[in-house]
A and B are shown apart, each in its own frame.
Chain A
Amino acid sequence: MAFYDGVFDALGLREWCDANAESAPMSMADLLAQAGGADAEASGEVFPFPSLDNLNESCDRIGQTRDFTANIEDGFLAIKDGLKIVLDPLTQPLSWMLDGALWLFTTTPWWIIVPLLIALTHLVARSIGVTLFVAFSFLFLGAIDHLDVALQTLSIIFVCTSLSVLLGVPLGIAMSRSNTFQRMMVPLLDLLQTLPTFVYLIPLIFLFSVTESKLYGIAIILYAIVPVIRLTDLGIRLVDKDVIEAADAFGMTKQQKLWNVQLPLALPNIMAGVNQTIMMSLAMVVIASLVSAPGLGVLVLRGIRNLELGVGIVAGIGIVLLAVVLDRTSKAALSRIDKNHKVH
């Protein structure tokens, strides 16, 4: 018999265990052991770990691990409909924004959108070098017929980054104001940052249809919003205590302090967070192509699926180019702000 029989007997739980004795499905290991003709117990370990599967052999009341994972799934499915009713309308604008941006970026003729983006770069970065590099990158992408997909990727990043900043900065401010809220948020942010991205794609697929663009929008935002929240919180907490004290001494209200002192002084840090957020949403956009996000990621995916080496590599280079473009532009903007903030 199984190893842990004695334990349940000793605890007087035998009757409780056997109350509804119907044997659980056999595990793969059992099946293999049977097929091999050997006795399961004989080939087992001397002192097996008291895992759910091993305990189940001695006591049917205890579920197997497969029941455990099945229960998680059932539990999620049970609350799914309720969750959907709340989340669907809440996130619907995201779909509209993503679709709208996609439409805007792809239907505008290249001779309008490309100069416009280059002009925007110059406006933000104020650096000839960066502007020239951006222009070159777009021309190169156009030359290898990847401009459309690159613009699709870019449109997704624009929408997701803007929303991340719009949601992340207020969250960061709230975190900086309340230690309790900060303690609550930090584990959540750690979780979002470390949880493999595929893992939260699965429940999202259950919740939303794969054809809806908000599915990948949410996945990207969840992944990319973390740095901007963290660095907003950090930036505000790092603001010189003396200056805050001066603001208090001159009778500033909380609002005045936020807009006149804290946000301006935290801006370099916040911008560093925005830069990170842009880079992370770009990284996620490739994975999001698994759930129908258009853009360069789709080509990378095709490269993997069909083992089309060239397609994959060219799309990969396109993504690198986009990454460098976005990084240099946002960094140039950041250093421009830093210059205005020279602290003595």
Chain B
Amino acid sequence: MTDMPKIRLRDLYKVFGPNDAAMMAHVRAGMGKEALLAEHGHVLGLQDINVDMQAGEITVVMGLSGSGKSTLIRHLNRLIEPTAGEILLDGENVMELSQDALREARRTKMSMVFQKFALLPHRTVLQNTATALQVQGADKATQEAEASKWLERVGLKGYEQRYPSQLSGGMQQRVGIARALTAGTDIMLMDEAFSALDPLIRTDMQDLLLELQVELQKTIVFITHDLDEALKLADHLVILKDGAIVQQGEPQHILLNPSDPYIEEFVSDINRARVLRVRSVMGPMTDEGFAGDVEADQTLEQLIARSGGDTSHCYRVVEDGVPVGVLDMKDLVKALVPRVSSAETSVK
């Protein structure tokens, strides 16, 4: 069991209502969300959720509002109790933890970043950032040293003594992230952390998160309703609809092989050239003449710019100096059209 995922959700169900446990029989018998609501007055929040979240990866859970994504993330630290199923954290079932053990897990194993920031308005930025350490009972000097360190890391040096209401939304969320990082946990839960920010700030924050992630290698669970954001951040993408998983996997793979019309519709709107990478559309290695070498991690957009729009070339794809495949510009163009790509392109 060397490859035990950091977090594993198994057969997770959530039914909202006074008699949720009794409703499980109906749900297991295959009753749908609408039928359950109409006949029994219970809301099916999540059904049959099975996800493995690997250590050091960003798992993005995406779905529209009402799809249950916020419910799902709150199950991980049991802010919401599941109706049935298991939540394994480092192989340990979170459902079996006592209240004290659960509190301890929330303090030391996972921290959370919230959509509406949820900072304490009566405390300074520094005190807010140190919340987790204060809760754990660390001494004042440690609290302030750690908090200052992370505030500086997220670019808020000099704002320590301000109050949250004196900061802009983007800065407040930086405090939120610094607060989560100060907790020093392996897992970070981010509930629509950037959804309340305007687009430019959001891009900044995504870059900040990716930059931090390179260095810190946290296990991040990120909730969003924005596909562009999901594709930018995700190592593993989970798409939710009406409380059930429609498709999950490597984001580029989902983009090229949407498994159902719902996802196809979803992915049809995005700028594929910017999201897809050379690696995802390249073919197996051949010995033809190459126009040049490209890095596997480049986006198609970068390659188009480089080729000057000429579709007659083939490029050799190189990763860490080793050739790994070939990219025909014709394949690249096909990959840019959703329907064609889903029907014809195969992914390595």
* A245 within 8 Å of B (CB atoms): yes
| Closest Cβ–Cβ distance, residue B131 to chain A (whole Å) | 6
**Do B118 and A240 touch (CB < 8 A)?**
yes
Which residue on chain B has the smallest CB distance to residue A343?
B121
- A250 and B111 form a contact (CB under 8 A): yes
CA distance A245 to B118 in the complex (A): 8
* Complex interface: chain B residues within 8 A of A251 (CB): 103-107, 132, 135-136
Q: Is the CB of A264 closer than 8 A to any CB of chain B?
A: yes
Q: Are B106 and A249 closer than 8 Å at their CB atoms?
A: yes
B159 within 8 A of A: no
Give A255 to B171 CA distance when docked, in angstroms: 30
- Chain A minimum-CB-distance residue to B112: A249
Contact of A341 with B135 in the complex, beta carbons under 8 Å: no
B16 at interface, CB cutoff 8 A: no
Interface residues of B in 117-135 (CB under 8 A from A): 117-122, 131-132, 134-135
For chain B, the count of residues having a C-beta within 8 Å of the partner chain is: 30
Q: Is the CB of A342 within 8 A of B131?
A: no
A261 nearest in chain B by CB position: B120
Contacts of B111 in A (CB 8 A): 249-250
Interface centre among B118, B132, B134, B136 (most CB of A within 10 A): B118
Q: What CA separation (Å) do A344 and B169 show in the bound complex?
A: 9
Task: Give B112 Cβ to nearest chain A Cβ, in Å.
Answer: 4
Chain B minimum-CB-distance residue to A248: B79
Taking the complex as formed, is A70 at the interface, i.e. its CB lies under 8 A from any CB of chain B? no
* A150 CB-CB contact with B under 8 Å: no
A: number of interface residues (CB 8 Å): 21
A64 shortest CB reach to chain B, Å: 50
- In the assembled complex, B224 has its CB within 8 A of some CB on chain A: no
Q: Do the beta carbons of A265 and B122 come within 8 Å of each other? A: yes
Look across to chain B and name the residue whose beta carbon is closest to the beta carbon of A264: B122
Instruction: Indicate whether B183 reaches chain A with its CB closer than 8 angstroms.
Output: yes
Q: Report the separation of the CA atoms of residues A38 and B335 in the bound assembly, to the nearest whole angstrom.
A: 111
Give min CB distance, B81 to chain A, whole Å. 12
A250 and B132 contacting across the interface, CB-CB below 8 Å: yes
* Residues of chain B within 8 A of A264, CB atoms compared: 120, 122
Which residues of chain A in 226-246 are interfacial with respect to chain B, using CB atoms and an 8 Å cutoff? 240, 242-243, 245-246
Given known pairs A251-B107, A343-B121, the reply for A256 and B79 (CB within 8 Å) is: no
Contact, CB under 8 Å: B120 / A250: no
Establish whether residues B114 and A246, one from each chain, have CB atoms under 8 Å apart when the complex forms. yes
The reply to whether the CB of A188 lies closer than 8 angstroms to some CB of chain B is no
- Contact residue among B79, B104, B121 (Cβ-Cβ distance under 8 Å from A342): B121
Report Cα–Cα, A344/B77, bound state, in Å.
Answer: 27
Q: Is there a chain A Cβ closer than 8 Å to B341's Cβ?
A: no
Q: Write the nearest CB–CB distance from B146 to chain A, whole angstroms.
A: 14
Given the complex of chains A and B, what is the CA–CA distance between A260 and B105 in angstroms? 20
Tell me whether A248 and B106 are in contact (CB under 8 A). Answer: yes
Q: Quick check: A265 and B121 within 8 Å, CB to CB?
A: yes
Is the pair B121, A242 in contact by a Cβ cutoff of 8 Å?
no
A260 to B127 CA separation, bound complex (whole angstroms)? 11
The smallest C-beta distance from A344 to any residue of chain B, in angstroms, reads: 4
7 new A-B contacts at CB < 8 Å, known A249-B112, A250-B112, A265-B122: A245-B118, A246-B119, A249-B111, A251-B136, A260-B134, A265-B120, A344-B121
Of the A-B pairs whose beta carbons lie under 8 Å apart in the complex, a sample of 27, sorted by A's number, is A242-B118, A243-B119, A243-B120, A245-B79, A246-B114, A246-B118, A246-B119, A248-B106, A249-B79, A249-B189, A250-B112, A250-B131, A250-B135, A250-B183, A251-B103, A251-B105, A251-B132, A251-B136, A260-B134, A264-B120, A265-B121, A340-B122, A341-B122, A342-B163, A343-B165, A344-B121, A344-B172
**What residues make up the interface of B, taking CB atoms closer than 8 Å to A?**
77, 79, 103-107, 110-112, 114-122, 131-132, 134-136, 163-165, 172, 183, 189
